[in-house]
Homo-oligomer: A and B are copies of this chain.
Amino acid sequence: MFSVTVRDHMMIAHSFRGEVFGPAQRLHGATYVVDATFRRATLDADGIVVDIGRATEALHAVMAELNYRNLDDEPTFASENTTTEVLARFVADRLADRARAGDLGDGARELDGLVVTLRESHVAWASYERPL
């Protein structure tokens, strides 16, 4: 199995509902350093999983939907906490949509899966892995 990973980041505000979150129930924020991993069993004729340039642009486009925003105001997340886990799934699902739409090139339709990791600090991060 092969994989290619590209990295970007976003800077957002949000708050959480639920006692488990303690002080994070207050409005605060985070820089998420985001790693998107594209997995594929075989390489294409050029010898790649996916074009790193296109993968970087696709990830950046997904980040741009959220970057420099207060996620508490985003209708997309009205019914759930924007935890690191939930945001990892959001990014992975958006990238999957783009891969299927051909934004990552024709070969990307043969991707087997995606993993998205969001690092919220030097001591905590979360991942979501899904098939494509």
Contacts and interface: CB of A to CB of B under 8 A. Distances in A.
Question: Closest 3 interchain pairs by CB?
Answer: A29-B29, A13-B13, A13-B29
Contacts of A27: 13, 69-70
A2 B82 CA distance: 14
Interface string A88-113: 11000000000000000100000000
Nearest to A77: B47
B128 A84 contact: no
Interface of A: 1-9, 11-14, 16-18, 20-24, 26-33, 43, 45-49, 51-53, 56, 67-70, 80-86, 88-89, 105, 120-130
Contacts of A84: 4, 52
Q: How many copies does the complex hold?
A: 6
Given A43-B85, A85-B47, A26 B68 contact: yes
A31 B29 CA distance: 7
A94 to B, nearest CB: 16
B23 A67 contact: yes
Contacts of A52: 84, 124
